[in-house]
Amino acid sequence: MRKIALEEHFTTPELAEKYVARPTQSDTLFADVERRLADFDELRLEMMDRTGIDLMVLSVTTPGVQGVKDTDEAVRHARGANDFLAREVHKRPKRYAGFAHLPMQDAAAAADELERCVRDFGFLGALINGQTNGHYLDEDCYAPFWERVQDLDVPVYLHPGSMADHPAMFAHRPELDGPIWAWTAETAAHALRLVLGGTLTRFPKVRLILGHMGETLPFLLWRLDSRRAFDLGAELAPDERPSAIIKRSLAVTTSGVCDAAPLVAALHALGEDNVLFSVDYPYEDPQVACDFIEAAPIGDEVRAKVCHRNAERILRI
């Protein structure tokens, strides 16, 4: 079955040295990840042909410029990374597409860079690696950015990044402070800031994409509604419930979760139009991800939506 994968990463020579997270203690594994992040011509294409991935939407691996302190440097690096990706996509437009890399240190610069990438390069949206210097995307300063996102009508993929600080809940437990749990907690909280803080109500046409089967949120819809109403001491109108905002504004991908129970739960919670296949290359094994989705206990109509039709609709491919 045709497959489009959209949480698939790369790096540039400029960003590779300082701005690539290292989520493994193994030198061997990390060397392999670095080799694959930098490759467009051999390993990646061979893997796509072997596993049956037709198209990869590529994004700068975490943190990229979300990890840059200086605004001018972030703007420069983001432009450089997008120019670099545009050249690779241009070489193989049938196999690669792009998500813009954005300097969220400056909301106006980020909006302009997104527009440049969509208009000049045909990129399909943006992927943002979490918070930037302690700032989250629901803050007022980002309103002009979301307005531009809505005008351009492209999705924003909210991907995990490093945390702004190290909360006490992870003290003396460094094994929790990474993709295994901290990144999930951070990214789910970031998405909920946009849901409960009003951003997705103010910009109702914005489409947010979360990876990792929705960072646990599809599992929690009923509880979010229940506790929000309890917190406010009032029943919410149906379209104001967190679950309604999430169902309207969020889509999720299967990246990094090759497990039938959460897949079925996500499809049930969000609807069959809002779950999209992805791998999380090169951190996950594409063969495992492809075998999983081909054999998952869902009907073939739904499988086609997950594997490619939802991506074609949401990304307008």
**Taking the complex as a whole, how short is the minimal distance between the CB of residue 7 and Mn ion, in angstroms?**
5
Name residues contacting Mn ion, limited to 174-233 (CB under 5 A): none
**Site size with Mn ion, rule: CB under 5 A:** 2
Residue nearest to Mn ion (CB): 280
Taking CB under 5 A as the binding criterion, the range among 1-9, 27-35, 45-53, 106-114 that sits at the site for Mn ion is: 1-9
Q: Which is nearer to Mn ion, 103 or 161 (CB)?
A: 161
* Pick from 88, 92, 132: nearest CA to 110: 132
Q: Does 280 bind Mn ion (CB under 5 A)?
A: yes
Helix 242-249, helix 182-196: angle, nearest 10:
100
Active site residue 280: yes
Q: Which of 215, 280 has the CB closer to Mn ion?
A: 280
Amino acid at 90: H
Interacting span for Mn ion (CB under 5 A) from 115-123, 199-207, 228-236, 276-284? 276-284
- Could you write out the DSSP letters of every residue in 151-174? HHT--EEEE----SS--GGGTT-G
Q: Which of residues 3-42 bind Mn ion (CB under 5 A)?
A: 7
For residues 240 and 227, give the distance between their C-alpha atoms in angstroms, rounded to a whole number.
Answer: 13
Token pair, residue 5, equals 């994968």
User: Binding segment for Mn ion among 74-82, 89-97, 131-139, 273-281 (CB under 5 A)?
Assistant: 273-281
The residue among 89, 153, 170 whose CA lies nearest residue 115 is 153
Candidate list 106, 138, 225, 280, residue with the active-site label: 280
118, 119, 122, 124 alpha-carbon torsion, rounded to 10°: 20
Catalytic residues: 280
Interacting residues with Mn ion (CB under 5 A): 7, 280
